[in-house]
Amino acid sequence: MPDIDFIRGEIERMRVQVGRQRKEILQLQRAGIGTASAEALLSRMQAKIDDLCAQRDALKAGQPGPCQRQGARPEEVVSKTSRPKVC
């Protein structure tokens, strides 16, 4: 399974591609050219991004956060001083 950084990079790369594809579709529509196949491709690209986001979220849920300790209760994470710990 790819690591979370790889998946984040793929999501970003594909979002850029989707933006470019949308611009191309608008240009085609202005020119009066059919865009059904381009819109189908855009839909598949968006579905792939959604899958990658689900994978990223699953990996992120499995990683401990910067303020989480093994077995810590939520009230233990907050500092007992006047300011709460910034996570």
Read off the pLDDT of residues 26-84 as tens digits, 9 standing for 90 and up.
999 999 999 999 999 999 999 999 999 999 999 999 887 766 555 555 555 555 555 55
Evaluate if residue 86 carries a pLDDT over 80: no
Q: What is the pTM of this model?
A: 0.69
Tokens of 64: 């401990």
The answer to whether residue 9 scores a pLDDT higher than 80 is yes
Phi and psi based region of residue 69 (left: phi greater than 0; alpha: psi -120 to 50; beta: remaining): beta
In this prediction, residue 87 carries a pLDDT of: 46
Distance CA 62, CA 53 (A): 14
Mean pLDDT of the region 23-28: 96
